[in-house]
Amino acid sequence: MSEHFKLKAAVMAMVFREELDSKEILLQKRQNTGFRDGYWDFASSGHLEEGESLTQAMTREIKEEIGIGVKEDKLGFCHLTHLTETEIDINYINCYFIVNEYQGVPQIMEPHKCSDLEWFNLDSLPDTMIPSRRRVLEQVLNKSYYSEDGFK
């Protein structure tokens, strides 16, 4: 019997804050990861470890990467995407969560993987944001909960 195709799963955090009359999102600038280095990405992302739930993985990654505490029940599911990028040989199921409540001050905890961490107004996102992440953010803002990206 042939073996089933195995997908990788990852979690991504969209950390938001209200600032005066605008909404901002926290983005990190990737470096030395082998994936979209030099591009802006959501504040925290990572792979599931064996035995972890999606929310357990997300709270762990948030603490490891930006140093803030988030309770699992405060994560808001917002989107699921099936992503493929054939030129760099990836095929993932990505689960996205909204973070509005947290403890601590976001800071770079893994400087070998992240060169910058900044708040951006949703109306002025950086041109060098990872294209697939920008598309997901647009989907989330339009209240769409599922997408596929990179398929023909």
Query: What tens digit of pLDDT does each residue of 38-93 get?
Result: 999 999 999 999 999 999 999 999 999 999 999 999 999 999 999 887 766 778 89
Helix residue spans in 4-151 (DSSP H)? 54-66, 131-141
The CATH number assigned to the domain with range 8-149 reads 3.90.79.10
**pTM: predicted TM-score of the whole model, two decimal places:** 0.91
CB under 8 Å to 148, separation ≥6 — which residues? Answer: 81, 82, 83
What Å distances lie between residue 90 and 10, 16, 48, 82, 87, CA to CA? 12, 28, 16, 11, 8
Q: Is the pLDDT of residue 30 over 90?
A: yes
